[in-house]
Amino acid sequence: MPRENSKALDRSATVAVVGCGAMGAGIAQVAATAGHRVLLFDAREGAAARAMDGIADALAKLVAKDRMREEDRVALLGRLEPVERLAALAPAALVVEAVVEDLEVKRGLFRDLEGIVGEEAILATNTSSLPVTAIAAPLKRPERFAGLHFFNPAPLMALVEIVSGLATDRAVAETLFATAKDWGKSPVFARSTPGFIVNRVARPFYAEGLRALQEQAGDPATLDAVMRDCGGFRMGPFELMDLIGHDVNFAVTRSVHAAYFGDPRFQPSLIQQELVEAGRLGRKTGRGFYQYGAGAETARAKDAPEAPRPSRVSVEGHLGPAHGLLAMIREAGIAVEELPEPGPGHPIGRLVVDGVTLTLTDGRSATRHAADIGRKDVVLFDLARDYAGASRIAIAAADGAARGSVATAAGLFQALGKRVSVLDDLPGLLVMRTVAMLANEAADAVLQGVASAADVDTAMTKGVNYPLGPLAWAESIGLDLVVDVLDALNRTYGEDRYRASALLRRKVWGGTFFHD
């Protein structure tokens, strides 16, 4: 957190924005809304004027919806001033760059700006992928340079990553933090590493969905529904990738993978590569994982058929994060018989329904689980953000389970008011393995000094709308379970991709937490 004496830019200070595309225009609107005079410059002829028109249209819509007064709209527009020469930015106390993601273009721009603005002016880049240290390297005073990474659309998204390069003065980062907060944003500190916080920690959200699809665990619509209705995410990975654009999402993944010298955690997907090669980039081209436009059919998740409700459920031990299911089962009028713990080596308890064993996934496949406990009819169910509030549960049966095992398990969850998605026997199912991998990447970001645990969780809730920060989520289900899931995935796949963070292991061994 910034020191108590850290101050935001005075609202009388002039802010300049270079690059007047959607992101630059959004940043200019944010600064002007806060009361700053804002100078807009773009080397493309007419771009600054077009940005002004776009902002004016956006504000007019707010007025029409009674979310802004007309006099405030006029005053805000009066604080925006397009300029035709870079030299006109000389009065700026803060310059924010939002031009093309090209290292040499940005370096050249800031070299020019350094000779134009005053000695105390702060220079900031909105880059989402380039190293802040590398952009600042040619500057005479790189200590006054930092990343000020907004998320699109800037007027609506709360998160701003304050990114320090190797030479960034701490006071500069703190001033930017205080300024972003004064502008109504939720800022976080980050160190300049590939992907910063969000674009690094979010990689598993897409990667595990793509891995599940590659292994034919389910179709995109069903997998998306599981992540939304069971996991509590606002969007599933496939609809989100279609929205972002596969060219953009794939490029970020490749960039992070290359920047980390081919670390398998960030390995790109052949499925997404094929979509890019085919020009199926998502919404913007009318087709990605889904089809869009006139006449396109809406893809629907596959639900298990209605099955008979059970009359009795036996419970062996404590169900861990799924323990809340017991109250729901009783409320549904189903008799519950509580049996002893299943014994050493089985930290999560089980439900037994008509001879079928149901238990929360711990990273093993249902088939492996069945072999380990010596039972044939085993069905695993996925993690839910909130079992009471979830409208869907995902399940998977062991390969050797009797044909009716899936119907028996589905009947129980349907009796609790849930839709049921039957996946193929995917180790860790989908929500559990994704949350474990998100927490793992978040833990490594903390371990490597990229950001604090609090800032990582803030970044993921405010920047990509996760229902809970990955580290807080991991603590809520148990850090030991998260490590167990990762270790089970590592054993199954034999890939370094699923190696557990050393910091996660330390927390488990020491009995400590990320958030005290």
Structure-token pair, residue 140: 């005479």
Q: Which residue type, as a one-letter code, is found at position 334?
A: I
CB contact at 8 A, 209 and 434: yes
- Catalytic residue (choose from 128, 255, 269, 405): 128
Orientation of helix 502-510 relative to helix 431-447, angle to 10° = 90
- Catalytic residue (choose from 126, 164, 192, 199): 199
Q: Is 199 a catalytic residue?
A: yes
Strand ordering across the sheet containing 335-339: 335-339, 312-316, 350-353, 356-360, 378-381, 392-397, 419-422
Q: Is residue 176 within a helix (H) or strand (E), and if so which, with residue range?
A: helix 170-182
What is d(CA 237, CA 223) in angstroms, rounded to the nearest whole number? 8
Q: Is 465 a catalytic residue?
A: no
SS (H, E, C) 20-78: CCHHHHHHHHHHHHCCCEEEEECCCCCHHHHHHHHHHHHHHHHHHCCCCCHHHHHHHHH
Orientation of helix 479-493 relative to helix 431-447, angle to 10° = 110
Residue carrying structure tokens 């958030």: 515
**Sequence-separated (6 or more) residues with CB below 8 Å from residue 413:** 381, 393, 395, 420
Sequence-ordered strand ranges (E) for 370-465:
378-381, 392-397, 419-422
Closest listed residue to residue 417, CA positions, set 506, 313, 325: 325
Pairing of the two strands 356-360 and 350-353: antiparallel
Closest listed residue to residue 345, CA positions, set 373, 383, 314: 373
- Catalytic residue (choose from 36, 149, 257, 369): 149
* Per-position b or e across 294-309, b if 16+ CB within 10 A of its CB: eeeeebebebbeebee
- CA 254, 451, 212, 395: dihedral to nearest 10 degrees? -170
Count of CA atoms in the C-beta half-sphere (13 A) of 102: 7
- Catalytic residue (choose from 97, 114, 161, 475): 161
Active site residues: 128, 149, 161, 199
